[in-house]
Amino acid sequence: MSFKVAVVGATGNVGREMLNILDERGFPVSEVVALASRRSQGTEVSFGDRTLKVKALDQYDFSDTDICVMSAGGNVSKEWSPKIGKQGCVVIDNSSAFRYDQDVPLIVPEVNPDAISLFTRKNIIANPNCSTAQLVVALKPLHDVATIKRVVVATYQSVSGAGKEGMDELFTQTRAVFVADQVDVKKFTKRIAFNVIPHIDVFLDDGFTKEEWKMVAETKKMLDPKIKLTATCVRVPVFIGHSEAVNIEFEKPITADEAREILREAPGCQVLDKREDGGYITPLESAGEDATFISRIREDSTVDNGLSMWVVSDNLRKGAALNAVQIAELLVERGLIQPKKKAA
Ligand SMILES: NC(=O)c1ccc[n+]([C@@H]2O[C@H](COP(=O)([O-])OP(=O)(O)OC[C@H]3O[C@@H](n4cnc5c(N)ncnc54)[C@H](OP(=O)(O)O)[C@@H]3O)[C@@H](O)[C@H]2O)c1
């Protein structure tokens, strides 16, 4: 059984990674189609050792396509995902357009795989925000054992989370600083080279940013609506890999050693936690990896049943493309999708 898969946003950071991961994991494809805006029509992207010519989304007919992995931003998704879904093609969307829609499942396969069956309502499945995806992978196994009451998280998010323009801006500004050129600020609100910016997405009325609100809403939707979470999301001059300093208050007692053992066995998690120089993960080492890495696990005696830890993952992989491909794999494993065209 193999599937015709369309990758929308194939020229972008997430789309390119999507093509890599579909190939690396040997997802059963009969054909892969690379789609982007008309600007990219005819340009080439790699899929394994093959080269695909990019087609324009608005000229493509989805009627014989089985799965569409969409990573072209919220506006494109809002316009296209419902139309594509109505053509019988299952959309796995990376944007925030449908994440909070009650008729659209928001899925991290290690966390809430059973919620996927809801997808038939709209033929759309949402992928969470990159910073939430890695957080819930690390929280879920601890929540199952000791019940999380409250989480306080500060993120250190890489520039690739803001698309290819974000990566270009860090590179261009860093170069400009070194050659004593003028440093232009375009994509971010302040200079990102040799700086950090405590502002991701738009401000809301209560003073939090939309990125911070997303972490709250998505953790509640996927893990448990009773969990209280507060976040501070910060952009840092790192190309790939989001890091998070996480403080958790549990209902039941749990020691750092117990948490370490639980996380060692947990799907998608890798513990790297030695109390010595370099005995922890940094975003540089997480780039290109699939795992959510957990380091610096320690008890926090300032609250009852408190733990602190450091969680790092490649935001383009677990935070986006890998999670989307795992969702496609889940559809296949559970027999929730059949190819429209039977293999000859
Ligand atoms: N980066 C992350 O860590 C991350 C994590 C989770 C979710 N996401 C989400 O994934 C999406 C893409 O992110 P990214 O980082 O890959 O951005 P990106 O590098 O800026 O790429 C954007 C992609 O969207 C395409 N696109 C833009 N307008 C289009 C249109 N009108 N029709 C068809 N295609 C269009 C672009 O094609 P052209 O090259 O033709 O312009 C490009 O392929 C966003 O919704 C983002 O929120 C990103």
Residues 73, 282, 237: CA angle, nearest 5 degrees: 50
| 92-109: average pLDDT | 97
Mean pLDDT (the chain) is 97
Structure tokens at 291: 């795992």
- The runs of H, that is alpha helices, within the chain are 13-24, 74-86, 130-146, 163-178, 210-222, 256-265, 283-286, 322-333
What pLDDT is recorded for position 326? 98
Strand 44-47 and strand 50-53: pairing?
A: antiparallel
| 149-173: average pLDDT | 97
Q: How far apart are CA 42 and CA 55, in angstroms?
A: 6
Distance 162 CA to ligand 1 centre (A): 9
What pLDDT is recorded for position 294? 98
What pLDDT is recorded for position 137? 98
Share of the chain above pLDDT 70, in %: 99
| 24-42: average pLDDT | 97
What pLDDT is recorded for position 147? 98
Structure tokens at 20: 């890599």
What pLDDT is recorded for position 341? 77
Q: How far apart are CA 73 and CA 97, in angstroms?
A: 8
Which residue of the set 68, 143, 233, 242 is catalytic?
Answer: 242
Contact 246, 309 (CB under 8 A): yes
What pLDDT is recorded for position 301? 97
Handedness of CA 249, 254, 260, 265 (dihedral sign): negative
What pLDDT is recorded for position 342? 62
Contact 116, 331 (CB under 8 A): yes
Instruction: Return the closest-CA partner of residue 199 out of 153, 238, 236.
Output: 236
Pocket of ligand 1 (CB under 6 A): 8-15, 36-37, 39-40, 57, 71-74, 76, 94-95, 130, 160-161, 163-165, 315-316, 319-320
Cα–Cα distance list, 128 to 108, 145, 328, 332 (Å): 7, 24, 14, 20
- Testing ligand 1's pocket by substitution, the residue of 7, 8, 13, 69 carrying the most ligand atoms inside 8 A of its CB is 13
On the 0-12 / 13-18 / 19+ scale of CB atoms within 10 A, 173 is: buried
Q: With bands split at pLDDT 50, 70 and 90, how would you rate the model's confidence at 343?
A: low
Q: Is 130 an annotated catalytic residue?
A: yes
Distance 289 CA to ligand 1 centre (A): 21
The pTM score is 0.96
The single-letter code of the amino acid at 106 is L
Residues facing residue 307 across a β-bridge: 248, 299
| 210-233: average pLDDT | 98
Q: How far apart are the first and last CA of the chain?
A: 11
Distance 164 CA to ligand 1 centre (A): 8
pLDDT in tens, 102-152: 999 999 999 999 999 999 999 999 999 999 999 999 999 999 999 999 999
Residue 195 marked as a ligand binder: no
Q: With bands split at pLDDT 50, 70 and 90, how would you rate the model's confidence at 195?
A: very high
- E-strand stretches of the chain: 3-8, 29-36, 44-47, 50-53, 55-56, 67-70, 90-93, 124-126, 148-157, 228-235, 242-250, 269-271, 292-300, 306-313
Residues facing residue 156 across a β-bridge: 234, 243
Distance 8 CA to ligand 1 centre (A): 8
Residue 99 DSSP SS3: coil
pLDDT in tens, 36-79: 999 999 999 999 999 999 999 999 999 999 999 999 999 999 99
Q: How far apart are CA 85 and CA 91, in angstroms?
A: 6
What pLDDT is recorded for position 263? 98
